[in-house]
Amino acid sequence: MTPTERAVVEQAMAAPMLDHVLRWAAINSGSGNMDGLAAMAGELADACAGLPGRLDLLDSAPVTRIDAQGLEREVAHGRNLLLTVRPDAPVQILLTGHMDTVFAPDHPFQTCQWLSPDVLNGPGVADMKGGLAVMIAALRAFETAPDCARLGYQVVFNSDEEVGSPGSAPLLARAAAGKQAALTYEPSALPDGTLAGARPGSGNFSLIITGRSAHAGRNPQDGRNAVVAAADLALRLTGLAGPGLLINCARIEGGGPNNVVPDHAVLRVNIRPRTSQDEAKAAQALDTIIEQVSAAHDLHIHRHGNFARPPKPITARGQRLLELVRDCGRMLGQEIGWQDSGGVCDGNNIAACGVPVVDTMGVRGGAIHSAQEYLIADSLGERAALSALLLYRLARDGL
């Protein structure tokens, strides 16, 4: 490393990241907790105060959801932060991180504890309040470099990634437009720091079945059982699963008293295609099965939802970005590889805009989305150093 690079790396590693993680993990910011998300947005705005540029607090795009009765209702989502720095610089990149967690205010997992001197257990410490601390520390350190003016960037802190980013997806697409590269601060794919490579896509669907009620004893033949149709639909959809397609029929809601043929049900389904071709086949198969079940049970089925996370293959430019991260890691004594992942994140949305993205630039840890979630504290400095050096190399050389 050059003396300038070494200075930037050392500054990143010295940032008070652990203090930030402990403070932010104490704020419940579940995806549906508007007050907690507002508090986190305020914390992040304060943490970014030393950065140049313009910081905007933006409303979510409108989002609707199907309730248990099959009715479409608007759902509140938190506001999102957008930081814009040097939009006219020759190299432009995007950085993203989410402020929401999967833990609601009534979830029992609300506090941090040390499992060992270097392992911190707590809600969101890895996914991804640790990643947010790493990103901000790296940016603040990078801004001390004498030639930082070559790099412009936008940072999106969104409030709804854990529920698929339905309200922030338009913002992510606008921010990704025209960028040379992107970095997202999800935790590493494995505790050893391995990055995620290719990802499948993901679609969440609510299938609303409208049948006809009748007395279960006197005239059941006049009814059209929506719950039975939902079960048939679930079985047929599950039969589509294969090497390029994962299907999870997660919930059936509906029905009523035992002596009434149920006239409504809602089937919740998650579909994960490996490639865009698999996605197209799945969409066609879903429509075909809906038609078949509708005809077989003489009732109506309405589909709500879409493939909100497109598949993320590794392109040639994506491979170059991964290799650049690997090379920066080696300069710091970190051996970093990557492997394909079955999970999805905002990296899917960014890659769909034609922008190469490494989406696991956050901390090392594990057991995310559970009360066993943990952060390896030493990785805060490691990953901040990695990002700071990477930003410097992108500013100097581009991608």
Tell me the β-bridge partners of 80. Answer: 58
CA distance 197 to 347: 10
Q: 3-state SS string over 120-178?
A: EECCCHHHHHHHHHHHHHHHHHHCCCCCHHHEEEEEEEECCHHHCCCCCHHHHHHHHCC
DSSP state of 224: B
Q: What is the pLDDT of residues 160-169, one digit of tens each?
A: 999 999 999 9
CB distance 131 to 377 below 8 Å: no
H-state helical runs in 219-356? 226-238, 276-297, 316-331, 346-351
Tell me the β-bridge partners of 97. Answer: 157
pLDDT at 134: 98
Ranges in the chain, pLDDT < 70 = none
Per the document, the length of the chain is 399
pLDDT at 318: 98
Q: What is the pLDDT of residues 284-293, one digit of tens each?
A: 999 999 999 9
pLDDT at 139: 98
Single out the residue of 397, 267, 279 nearest to residue 348, CA to CA: 279
CA distance 198 to 315: 9
CA distance 155 to 394: 16
φ, ψ (nearest 5 deg) of residue 202? -155, 135
- The b/e string for 24-43 (b: 16+ C-beta within 10 A; e otherwise) is bbebbbbbbbeebbbbbbeb
Which domains are delineated in the chain? Answer: 3-199+312-397 (3.40.630.10), 203-309 (3.30.70.360)
- Locate tokens 């470099």: which residue? 145
pLDDT at 210: 98
CB distance 140 to 15 below 8 Å: yes
CB distance 383 to 8 below 8 Å: no
Single out the residue of 184, 161, 188, 186 nearest to residue 336, CA to CA: 188
What pTM was estimated for this model as a whole?
A: 0.95
CA distance 153 to 94: 6
pLDDT at 148: 96
CA distance 110 to 105: 8
CA distance 188 to 133: 14
pLDDT at 230: 98
pLDDT at 330: 98
Longest dimension (CA), the chain: 87
- Locate tokens 């969104």: which residue? 158
Q: What is the pLDDT of residues 141-165, one digit of tens each?
A: 999 999 899 999 999 999 999 999 9
pLDDT at 323: 98
CA distance 345 to 184: 9
Residues 6+ apart with CB under 8 A from 329: 193, 335, 336, 386
φ, ψ (nearest 5 deg) of residue 45? -60, -40
Q: What is the pLDDT of residues 293-332, one digit of tens each?
A: 999 999 999 999 999 999 999 999 999 999 999 999 999 9
Tell me the β-bridge partners of 371. Answer: none
pLDDT at 190: 96
